[in-house]
């Protein structure tokens, strides 16, 4: 069974330090998760809708690891309103083998807009994604293995 490490609204330095310490002990592939959430104010009596965007939540793999982009799973886990969306970005790719780049970080932002109508309540979006973090091959005396 795979291990899941949940990251949410943590400072970048703490996040990187936590991953480095965790990875030093657990060198096997592992799933990491990232969540983002925002909630709007209520739609006004005049029908004016409100919107929100969460802060970008970023998970950075420690040195010697990449994120296997094709293993990414997730999406909206809770939503309300006229517009809800999860925005996912990958960055800082490393070529694992020639022609096969894999990212070393994933960023996630939630977006919502309150419902249509008059005084219809708040909108929200909660997004959750997971991706497999894998160690890079280590060189041996004869090359890579």
- Asked whether residue 140 is assigned to any structural domain, the reply reads no
User: Is residue 128 within a helix (H) or strand (E), and if so which, with residue range?
Assistant: strand 124-135
- Asked whether residue 78 is assigned to any structural domain, the reply reads yes
- Asked whether residue 79 is assigned to any structural domain, the reply reads yes
- Asked whether residue 126 is assigned to any structural domain, the reply reads yes
Structural domains in the chain (count): 1
Which of 126, 112, 64, 60 is closest to 89 using CA atoms?
60
Q: How many Cβ atoms sit within 10 Å of the Cβ of residue 2?
A: 9
Q: What is the pLDDT of residues 36-90, one digit of tens each?
A: 999 999 988 998 999 999 999 999 999 999 999 999 999 999 999 999 999 999 9
- Asked whether residue 145 is assigned to any structural domain, the reply reads no
Question: Where are the alpha helices (H) located in 7-139, listed in sequence order?
Answer: 12-25
Which of 106, 75, 109, 81 is closest to 91 using CA atoms?
106
Q: What is the pLDDT of residues 82-134, one digit of tens each?
A: 999 999 999 999 998 889 999 999 999 999 999 998 988 999 999 999 999 99
- Asked whether residue 144 is assigned to any structural domain, the reply reads no
* Domain span at 30: 4-132
- Asked whether residue 37 is assigned to any structural domain, the reply reads yes
- Kindly report the pTM of this predicted structure: 0.75
- Asked whether residue 137 is assigned to any structural domain, the reply reads no
């Amino acid at each position: 069974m795979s291990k899941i490490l949940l990251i949410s609204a943590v400072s970048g330095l703490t996040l990187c330090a936590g991953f480095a310490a965790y990875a030093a002990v657990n060198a096997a592939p592992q799933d990491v998760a990232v969540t983002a959430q925002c909630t709007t104010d209520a739609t006004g009596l005049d029908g004016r809708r409100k919107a929100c965007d969460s802060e970008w939540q970023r998970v950075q793999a420690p040195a010697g690891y990449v994120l296997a982009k094709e293993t990414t799973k997730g999406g909206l886990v809770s939503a309300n309103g006229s517009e809800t969306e999860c925005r996912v970005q990958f960055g800082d790719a490393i070529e694992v083998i020639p022609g096969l780049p894999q990212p070393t970080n994933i960023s996630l932002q939630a977006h919502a807009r309150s419902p249509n109508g008059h005084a219809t309540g708040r909108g929200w979006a909660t997004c959750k994604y997971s991706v497999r973090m894998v160690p890079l091959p280590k060189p041996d005396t004869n090359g890579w293995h």
